[in-house]
């Protein structure tokens, strides 16, 4: 990957996402579950399915201005692809924690735990980086158990939208459509990690269904 790609792609991608976001009518559901946390010293772990991540930096940027949300630290690998992600995230005010959940995952969890101990919110895709789609791995709940920070499920849906032929069915809204972000109730840190992972799956399923209803899409309906 050339230096020109690293220089040009992140600002262009961020501009496209921001421009797309400005055409959407985005509703926010469940803010009452996180508003108190935003105004407290308690750090948060946001959990969102990998295929719903595209618009969440834009949504967070808007909520920082309107409801007092906080910047979010994201995990980016030390590869060139990770550098692209880190530079893209920085365009929305998201600092990056460098590490890989697929290589040396324990080190990545420790890096995220340090960010939480320093009082920073973090975001993690519990089914990433390779799936299976919609199945929570143990990384997010292990991070919660390690740090004591609550997990907040977050879902985003849009209608109409494209759903790409990728492992995560990555969703890209059509311009001038409807969007919804849903925050579920926080999930407390738990010692039984497999049970907690199932709780995260259930919570994200409920949040996704609520977001789909809000944009007029029936649960499970093909985006486009």
Enumerate the domain spans of the chain.
3-214
3-class SS string, 126-150: CCCCCCCCCCCCCHHHHHHHHHCCC
Cα four-point dihedral sign 110, 87, 37, 58: negative
The CB density around residue 20, as the number of other CB atoms within 10 Å, is 20
Q: Which residues pair with 46 in a beta bridge?
A: 123, 152
**Is the predicted pLDDT of residue 103 greater than 70, yes or no?**
no
On average, the pLDDT of the chain sits at 90
Lowest mean pLDDT among 103-107, 139-143, 199-203: 103-107
Banded pLDDT at 63 (limits 50, 70, 90): very high
How confident is the model over 104-116, as pLDDT tens digits? 567 778 889 999 9
- pTM of structure: 0.91
Looking at residues 117-140, what average pLDDT do you find?
A: 90
What is the reported pLDDT for 97? 86
What is the reported pLDDT for 88? 92
Looking at residues 35-40, what average pLDDT do you find?
A: 95
**Structure-block tokens of residue 69:** 């949300």
What is the reported pLDDT for 77? 75
The span from the CA of 207 to the CA of 185, in Å, is 10
CATH topology classification for 3-214: Glycerol-3-phosphate (1)-acyltransferase (3.40.1130)
Local structure of 174: helix, strand or coil? strand
Lowest mean pLDDT among 62-76, 96-110, 151-165: 96-110
The span from the CA of 211 to the CA of 208, in Å, is 5
**Is the predicted pLDDT of residue 38 greater than 90, yes or no?**
yes
Looking at residues 5-11, what average pLDDT do you find?
A: 87
């Amino acid at each position: 990957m050339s230096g020109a790609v690293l220089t040009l792609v992140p600002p262009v991608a961020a501009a496209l996402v921001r421009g797309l976001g400005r055409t959407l009518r985005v509703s926010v559901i469940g803010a009452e579950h996180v508003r108190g946390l935003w105004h407290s010293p308690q750090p948060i772990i946001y959990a969102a399915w990998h295929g719903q991540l595209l618009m969440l930096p834009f949504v967070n940027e808007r909520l920082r201005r309107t409801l007092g949300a906080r910047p979010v630290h994201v995990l980016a690998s030390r590869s060139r692809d990770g550098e692209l992600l880190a530079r893209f995230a920085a365009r929305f005010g998201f600092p990056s924690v460098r590490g890989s959940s697929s290589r040396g995952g324990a080190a990545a969890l420790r890096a995220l735990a340090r960010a939480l101990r320093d009082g920073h919110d973090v975001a993690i895709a519990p089914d990433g980086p390779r799936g299976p789609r919609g199945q929570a791995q143990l990384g997010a709940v292990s991070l919660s158990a390690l740090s004591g920070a609550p997990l907040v499920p977050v879902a985003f849906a849009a209608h109409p939208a494209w759903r790409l032929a990728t492992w995560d069915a990555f969703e890209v809204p059509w311009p001038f459509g409807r969007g919804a972000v849903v925050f579920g109730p926080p999930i407390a840190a738990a010692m039984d990690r497999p049970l907690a992972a199932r709780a995260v799956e259930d919570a994200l399923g409920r949040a996704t269904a609520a977001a789909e209803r809000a944009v007029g899409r029936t649960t499970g309906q093909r985006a486009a």
